[in-house]
Amino acid sequence: MLDERTIGRVRGAPDNLYTSGVICAKVARYAERIHHPDRLTRPLIRKGGKGSGEFQTASWDAALDLVAEKFLIAEARYRPETVWPYQYAGTMGLVMRDGIHRLRHAKKYSGFHSTICVNAAYTGFAAGTGKIAGSDPREMAKSDLIVIWGTNPVNTQVNVMTHATRARKERGAKIIAVDIYQNGTMAQADLPVLVKPGTDAALACAVMHCLFRDGKADWDYLDKYTDAPRELEAHVKTRDPKWAEAITGCPAETIEEMARLIGATKRSFFRLGYGFARSRNGPVSMHAASCIPAVTGAWLHEGGGAFHNNADIYHWNKSMIEGQDVRDASVRMLDQSRIGAILCGDQDALTGGPPVTAMLIQNTNPVSVCPDQELVKRGFARDDLFVCVHEQFMTETAKVADVVLPATMFMEHDDVYQAGGSQYILLGPKLIEPPGECRSNHEVICALAKRLGVEHAGFDMTPRELIDHTLQKSGWGTLERLERDKWIDCQPDFETAHYINGFNWPDKKFRFKPDWPNVPFRSPTRSGPIEQMPKLPDYWTIIEVADEAHPFRLATSPARAFLNSTFNETPTSVKNEKRPTVMIHPDDAARLSIADGAAVIVGNARGQVHLHARVFDGVRTGVLIAESIWPNEAYPDGKGINTLTGADSIAPYGGAAFHDNKVWIRAA
């Protein structure tokens, strides 16, 4: 902090045992974002046509009064479910991110089925273990083999690489990386395993085939800790490396070497990411990969086992924050990822209820980040839809709003955070004053509640009071203790984290045969073709398979300098990323007469996107990679990359298949 309104460079805490003072470059230069000249600082009310981007400044009272008036008119006409508060994780703290649910529940507004990020991955991991928790991620530094699967931590979580490279330096550990293109993480791996999008389960089955074939399966462990090991062994007998090569594009020799390293190394740590689960077969792929350490018995060893996320170790009681005590379970749930269909009046997406005619949007930018973008844009263009957006910048979604409210950033309000990739509860205290008239999510929610005539104790509490209440109700002590200690290490002991006393099922056995409709998940809202899901780990062909009209498979992987649509307004991030591009293999480029740097069009039934080609031999033939998310305006015709992605639901609990798109490409 340079003064009460200014920060300098952001640095990690050296005494934090997971980060060890290391943070990613885009957060280190957060001053570029928090002090950006284009930040919103005054309330705005639309004065031009819908989507014109023409606004006039207003007082906070005038803006909030208008929002409350429009909400009350809408619910009087259609009933409260016509209002849909919509949010996600642009703000990650529990108070500021989740407080919108308190207003939702108090008013009986439409529910929010959160699907855009974790559903497929969480479901796939919990299908085996019974919960979202695994080995202490700091144990990567004590491993002899780290398998980084379906995630590019060089771009998205640099601390994974800190621990992995430490194990390599101190223990001679090997690193295997499994991904769909040669990225920064693959470049650091001893064995990079390059596969086609959506084929990870075939790779996992072939690895297990080799482990059983070569006597590397730990039968003592399998008999004690797993449900159907002999069925699995018989099942994968026909799924050998040659079979997997035909599906994945990865040479059988590479698959054999991967299996050899895993079979020879008891302390094998599987760091399983989100990326490979963002396909229509994503839960099945995640589950298949998570089965491998159960076959080898790696869970028994420090530095072994698997880790995806620690969501289930925190045992939060967020009733006061979210208003769970006033929630009406009969109120419909609307799917976050299907916002386009919902706003365009699809009766299935609306679950038979009234149209959505009013929205409050916080912490997310759906006109950019949601799938089926053209449908989303059509929905927001409706003249009968009133939209209030509470934002930090004039995003694509803010531009189509009727009211835009200026929001604080994380250093400008108090909040409490839970780590996903590690095991800490952390306090995020207010450090500086916000610019202009910016207000926090909590302030906006409480002000609207007052105008809408609803009461709840949480609306009368400060953020610090909510933090203290939630910590105490959840068994994590007090705010005073958290302020003193800076964070709480919530990591379970070795026996719990490694399931030494059994997995989280009544019979204590890891599930090779998941009960997909009943995998534990935070939402009961099921969707997608659940009845078609494989009974054992397998390659599920439900993905968008390339065909004659769409001979390529497209994935929209995360760019290093962006975080979804966050940071795509900061100068250094834009400079580093340069412009929207699509990676294409040299053989495909030559066949289509596409030169490196040439303008190209990528399309499918959902729409077309203009980019520039990057001819790159680090992808398989037939595969395209477009690192994202650039603003829509960065594309010549304003159509962003999610024009090409689909919003159909992933079984069994929904999700968006951002890396599962069949497309064509041609020179512009």
Distance CA 301, CA 278 (A): 30
DSSP string, 158-210: HHHHHHHHHHHHHH--EEEEEESS--HHHHH-SEEEE--TT-HHHHHHHHHHH
Q: 5 with 68, same domain?
A: no
Q: 295 with 336, same domain?
A: no
Q: 394 with 367, same domain?
A: yes
User: End of a domain among 273, 308, 343?
Assistant: 308
Structure-block tokens of residue 279: 């396909």
Please indicate, yes or no, if residue 180 is contained in any of the structural domains: yes
Please indicate, yes or no, if residue 453 is contained in any of the structural domains: yes
Sheet holding 415-418, edge to edge: 415-418, 424-428, 487-489
Q: Calculate helix-pair angle for 119-129, 282-296, nearest 10 degrees.
A: 30
Please indicate, yes or no, if residue 526 is contained in any of the structural domains: no
Per residue in 131-183, pLDDT tens?
A: 999 999 999 999 999 999 999 998 888 999 999 999 999 999 999 999 999 99
Please indicate, yes or no, if residue 581 is contained in any of the structural domains: yes
10 Å Cβ neighbour count for 165? 16
Distance CA 668, CA 652 (A): 39
Sheet holding 305-307, edge to edge: 191-194, 174-179, 145-149, 268-272, 305-307
Number of H helices, E strands in the chain: 26, 22
10 Å Cβ neighbour count for 2? 9
Sign of CA dihedral 394, 323, 311, 81: negative
Q: 272 with 351, same domain?
A: no
Q: 329 with 467, same domain?
A: yes
Per residue in 171-218, pLDDT tens?
A: 999 999 999 999 999 999 999 999 999 999 999 999 999 999 999 999
Cα separations in angstroms, 617 against 117, 596, 620: 29, 12, 8
Q: 564 with 631, same domain?
A: yes
372 band by pLDDT with thresholds 50, 70 and 90: very high
Largest CA distance in the chain: 73
CB 155 within 8 A of CB 275: no
At 586, which CATH number?
2.40.40.20
Pairing of strands 487-489, 424-428: antiparallel
At 148, which CATH number?
3.40.228.10
User: End of a domain among 308, 340, 358?
Assistant: 308
> What would the 3-class secondary structure string for 588-608 be?
HHHHCCCCCCCEEEEEECCEE
pLDDT at 298: 98
Q: 325 with 304, same domain?
A: no
- Indicate the average pLDDT of the chain: 97
Share of the chain above pLDDT 90, in %: 96
CB 331 within 8 A of CB 85: no
pLDDT at 600: 98
Please indicate, yes or no, if residue 433 is contained in any of the structural domains: yes
Please indicate, yes or no, if residue 509 is contained in any of the structural domains: no
Q: Which domain holds residue 248?
A: 126-308
Q: Which residues pair with 391 in a beta bridge?
A: 406
What residues contact 584, with CB distance under 8 A and at least 6 apart?
594, 600, 613, 614, 615, 616, 619, 624, 665
Three-state secondary structure call for residue 97: helix
524 band by pLDDT with thresholds 50, 70 and 90: confident
Q: For 319-438, where are the alpha helices, taking DSSP H only?
A: 319-322, 339-343, 366-369, 373-380, 396-399
At 444, which CATH number?
3.40.50.740
Q: Is 465 exposed, middle or buried (0-12, 13-18, 19+ CB in 10 A)?
A: middle
Q: 219 with 149, same domain?
A: yes
pTM: 0.97
Q: 651 with 569, same domain?
A: yes
| Least confident piece of the model among 26-30, 54-58, 224-228, 361-365 | 26-30
Per residue in 389-408, pLDDT tens?
A: 999 999 999 999 999 999 99
Please indicate, yes or no, if residue 572 is contained in any of the structural domains: yes
Residue with tokens 């040479």: 251
User: End of a domain among 472, 489, 506?
Assistant: 489
Q: 274 with 345, same domain?
A: no
What residues contact 320, with CB distance under 8 A and at least 6 apart?
457, 458, 461, 466, 469, 470, 473
522 band by pLDDT with thresholds 50, 70 and 90: confident
Q: Calculate helix-pair angle for 229-236, 200-213, nearest 10 degrees.
A: 110
Structure-block tokens of residue 156: 């998205």
What proportions of the chain, in percent to the nearest 5, are helix, strand and coil? 40, 15, 45
Amino acid identity, position 413: H
Q: 154 with 253, same domain?
A: yes
Number of domains in the chain: 4
Q: 11 with 27, same domain?
A: yes
Distance CA 299, CA 495 (A): 10
What residues contact 47, with CB distance under 8 A and at least 6 apart?
54, 55, 56
Please indicate, yes or no, if residue 504 is contained in any of the structural domains: no
- Report the pLDDT averaged over residues 495-517: 98
What residues contact 226, with CB distance under 8 A and at least 6 apart?
232, 294, 509, 510, 511, 512
